[in-house]
Amino acid sequence: METEINLQQLIVKTEETMKNRIEKLRSDFGTLRTGRANPQLVDGIRVEYYGSLTPLKQVAAISVGDARSIEIRPWDPSSLEAIEKALQKSDLGITPTNDGKMIRLNFPTMTEDRRKDLLKVVRKMAEDFKVTLRNDRRETLEKLKKVEKNKEISEDERIRQENIIQKLTDTYIKKVDEILSAKEKEILTI
């Protein structure tokens, strides 16, 4: 009975790890500049605000103006210059436009070469995430084999649990493919 609970916990923990990997992939894809405005592009930017580095989204409202621009409206108008400096220092490669009330980031249209390069990058990222998911599966299978070796479960039970882990892995690899497909479509249709 105790072993059964441990097996369930092992599967739950493996699934939780895989879910976190999918969320990380979504987040990583969201930070890629595809020519389409996406508020996630500025998520990692920190602004010098009253002597400390503060995340941009805590000092300003961030919205998408149109398909190729992001508007940043500071809660405190005196922080406009600090926000502008932080954006200029960032690796976005876009010069912010300050109109005195808000900052606008205008994204240029992507060239065909840039699209091809970006497709290679997202495909590599997706493949790396698949490898990580397979590594998670392998680690869990090794734990199952160790439990079987210690005579805590039978060979049949180990095989049954391995099938569950394999189905879980297949499900999450399919999710990676779906996310990749959506990102490729986004890159190609801008």
Three-state SS for 131? helix
The DSSP secondary structure of 65-129, one letter per residue, reads: EETTEEEEEESSGGGHHHHHHHHHHSTT----EE-SS-EEEEPPPPPHHHHHHHHHHHHHHHHHH
Say whether both 182 and 120 belong to one domain.
Answer: yes
**CA dihedral of 117, 62, 126, 123, whole degrees rounded to 10:** -20
Say whether both 9 and 75 belong to one domain.
Answer: no
- The boundaries of the domain holding residue 94 are 39-106
Q: How many other CB atoms sit within 10 Å of the CB of residue 121? A: 14
- CATH number for the domain that contains residue 50: 3.30.1360.40
Number of domains in the chain: 2
Say whether both 24 and 118 belong to one domain.
Answer: yes
Q: In this model, does residue 134 exceed pLDDT 80?
A: yes
Say whether both 134 and 46 belong to one domain.
Answer: no
Say whether both 22 and 82 belong to one domain.
Answer: no
End residue of a domain, out of 56, 86, 106: 106
Q: Supply φ then ψ for residue 128, to 5 degrees.
A: -60, -40
* pLDDT at 1 (0 to 100): 43
- Angstrom CA distances, 63 to 21, 50, 105, 126, stand at 27, 24, 11, 28
Q: pLDDT class for 65, splitting at 50, 70, 90? A: confident
CA nearest neighbour of 58 among 44, 69, 68: 44
End residue of a domain, out of 106, 130, 165: 106
Q: pLDDT class for 189, splitting at 50, 70, 90? A: confident
Say whether both 63 and 151 belong to one domain.
Answer: no
Q: In this model, does residue 58 exceed pLDDT 80?
A: yes
For 40-50, what is each residue's pLDDT tens digit? 778 888 898 88
Say whether both 92 and 126 belong to one domain.
Answer: no
Say whether both 17 and 82 belong to one domain.
Answer: no
CA nearest neighbour of 140 among 5, 19, 9: 9
Q: In this model, does residue 33 exceed pLDDT 50?
A: yes
Please, are residues 104 and 65 in contact by the beta-carbon 8 Å criterion? yes
Say whether both 117 and 62 belong to one domain.
Answer: no
**CA dihedral of 28, 51, 48, 24, whole degrees rounded to 10:** 0
Say whether both 11 and 53 belong to one domain.
Answer: no
End residue of a domain, out of 78, 106, 134: 106
Say whether both 115 and 22 belong to one domain.
Answer: yes
End-to-end CA distance of the chain: 55
Say whether both 17 and 58 belong to one domain.
Answer: no
> What value does the mean pLDDT of the chain take?
87
